[in-house]
Amino acid sequence: MKITRRCFLQGTLGLLASRCVFAEGLPPRPARPPLPALRTLANESRQAGHFRASLSAHSGIEATIGTLHSRDLYGYNGGALGPLIELEEGMQVTLPFTNHLTRDTTVHWHGLPVPSEQDGGPDMPVKPGETRTYEFRLPDDCAGTYWYHPHPLEGVVEQVSHGLAGPLIVRSAADPLRHLPEQHWVISDITLDDQGQVAPHEHHEWIDGREGRFVLINGALMPQITLEGTVRVRVWNCCSARYLKLAVPGARLTQVGSDGGLLARPLPEKESLLLAPGQRAELIVTGQDGDYSLSLLPYDRHKMHGPAPTVATDIAAVRLRQSEKAALPPTLRTLVPAVCDGQKHEVMLMEHMGRLMENHSGRPGRGFWLNGQSFDLERMDLHAIAGQTDEWTFVNATPMDHPMHIHGGQFQIAEFLYSGVRSVPDVAGWYDTVNLRSGESVKVLMRQALPGMRMYHCHILEHEELGMMGNLMVV
């Protein structure tokens, strides 16, 4: 018997909430699969304070997504989603990595303050069949929610669109929320054709960035999430270009952490949370006991092709069981405001429409620029001094949103300027990726602790690969 469903939107002040009502007398929809737990990369070291494990990248990974069975995915250590790497502050880390792909790759430790030669940038490719050992010691104050993904000079779009990514957490013994149960939502998307193959990019997907046909959480399509009591939820946006305006309509979200760990204090409860590509957050979901949905609310990032979204999309079912709730401490961490004592960098985000309209087998020319130039690995764009705090001003002179990411660690956001209005973040936190709306400028303060070359770029991966990236030399 076919289930009929009537969906309607309710909302005020532009906040949309979706509910679904089933026709009376009809059977309920089939049970959804429970949210899968993440695989964990086991520590092979018996030495205290040392983490050692091996990683490898493979093609031909199999997975079933909806009704499609694919043998066309890429993955780390044999899975379609890389294993969770759990580390501790101050740890010595040794990770031998073997590339079993047919083209160059790297492992970039997104957001981690590691030495430049261990950062997995495009200047240090791992060739097919080669093994490279990433080795670094973590600082004592870097607890947060991170991830790892490829960052070769060419091919990052292909590799991530085939699923190559994985989550990483650095923990602190002084974490004031360590007593809470924890849940992980690694959100990614993928486009498969009707035969289960990853579809090649079309021209418009290079320009706008691909938003995949299927939105996955921990590799699962439309799972059932259960939150019992007060649960600390870590969320990753591992999509190439999809913005996640997350909501649990009827419930409330309290953000407690950002890319680089806990905020100074919990933010006030709100109805939705926006995560640009590459960003992460920690949150608490609260509400009356009952069944809800995890929804993506419409967000207009002003793509060049296609209409702006207008309808919320459900990506999971959520069951709240919160008869016992834990109180959050009013202060989560002490954050000393950063002060510029180094360089001042201005980076303008630009587009060259002529280049973007070039079509080389569906792919545009390198038409996304920073400060009037397309990326060149051999050109040094900016300079900084190790140990000094620089002020970066990003200016978005394009008609669409761009999330900007700086390698080498975390930064504090000092100011937003949009439509002539200046504002500052409600609560201090550490970030490595910040979104810029069209016409917006953002100031951030960042200290590069270690010398070497770093990258800064748009984290819509298609834009990165089409030239919206620069080099920073730290001396």
Tens digits of residue pLDDT in 137-193: 999 999 999 999 999 999 999 999 999 999 999 999 999 999 999 999 999 999 999
Tens digits of residue pLDDT in 197-250: 999 999 999 999 999 999 999 999 999 999 999 999 999 999 999 999 999 999
Q: Can you tell me the distance from the alpha carbon of 409 to that of 68, in angstroms, rounded to the nearest whole number?
A: 39
CA angle 436, 442, 448 (to 5 degrees): 110
Q: Is the pLDDT of residue 433 over 70?
A: yes
| CATH class belonging to 182-321 | mainly beta
Topology agreement, domain 50-171 and domain 344-474: yes
Three-state secondary-structure class, residue 177: coil
Q: Can you tell me the distance from the alpha carbon of 73 to that of 161, in angstroms, rounded to the nearest whole number?
A: 9
CB 227 within 8 A of CB 298: no
Tens digits of residue pLDDT in 124-139: 999 999 999 999 999 9
Alpha-carbon torsion (371, 373, 374, 380), positive or negative: negative
Could you tell me the pLDDT band of residue 361, with boundaries at 50, 70 and 90?
A: confident
Q: Which residues contact 12 (CB under 8 A, 6 or more apart)?
A: none
Three-state secondary-structure class, residue 10: strand
Q: Can you tell me the distance from the alpha carbon of 202 to that of 211, in angstroms, rounded to the nearest whole number?
A: 12
Name beta bridge partners: 320. 227, 290
pLDDT averaged over the chain? 93
**CA distances (Å), origin 168, targets 37, 57, 84, 86, 305:** 14, 16, 5, 6, 34
Looking from the CA of 333 toward its CB, the CA atoms found within 13 Å total 25
Q: Can you tell me the distance from the alpha carbon of 82 to that of 39, in angstroms, rounded to the nearest whole number?
A: 8
The average pLDDT across 418-434 equals: 97
Three-state secondary-structure class, residue 240: coil
| Nearest Cα to Cα of residue 168 among 275, 91, 73 | 91
Name beta bridge partners: 472. 382, 454
Q: Is the pLDDT of residue 254 over 90?
A: yes
CATH code linked to domain 50-171: 2.60.40.420
Q: Is the pLDDT of residue 44 over 90?
A: yes
Q: Can you tell me the distance from the alpha carbon of 226 to that of 217, in angstroms, rounded to the nearest whole number?
A: 13
**Domain 344-474: CATH architecture, name and number where available:** Sandwich (2.60)
Q: Can you tell me the distance from the alpha carbon of 78 to that of 436, in angstroms, rounded to the nearest whole number?
A: 36
Predicted confidence at residue 18, as pLDDT, reads 37
Quick one: residue 23, left, alpha or beta (phi over 0 = left, psi -120 to 50 = alpha)? beta
Residue 328 CA to its chain's centroid (Å): 25
The DSSP secondary-structure symbol of 205 reads: H
Domain map (residue ranges) of the chain: 50-171, 182-321, 344-474
Q: Which residue has the higher pLDDT, 31 or 38?
A: 38
Q: Is the pLDDT of residue 8 over 50?
A: no
**CA distances (Å), origin 5, targets 2, 88, 291:** 10, 47, 16
Tens digits of residue pLDDT in 65-122: 999 999 999 999 999 999 999 999 999 999 999 999 999 999 999 999 999 999 999 9
Predicted confidence at residue 30, as pLDDT, reads 56
In which element (H, E) is residue 354 found? helix 353-357
Alpha-carbon torsion (316, 57, 405, 256), positive or negative: positive
Q: Is the pLDDT of residue 24 over 60?
A: no
Q: What is the CA radius of gyration of the chain?
A: 22
Could you tell me the pLDDT band of residue 20, with boundaries at 50, 70 and 90?
A: very low
Predicted confidence at residue 216, as pLDDT, reads 98
The average pLDDT across 20-26 equals: 36
| Nearest Cα to Cα of residue 277 among 339, 209, 329, 178 | 209
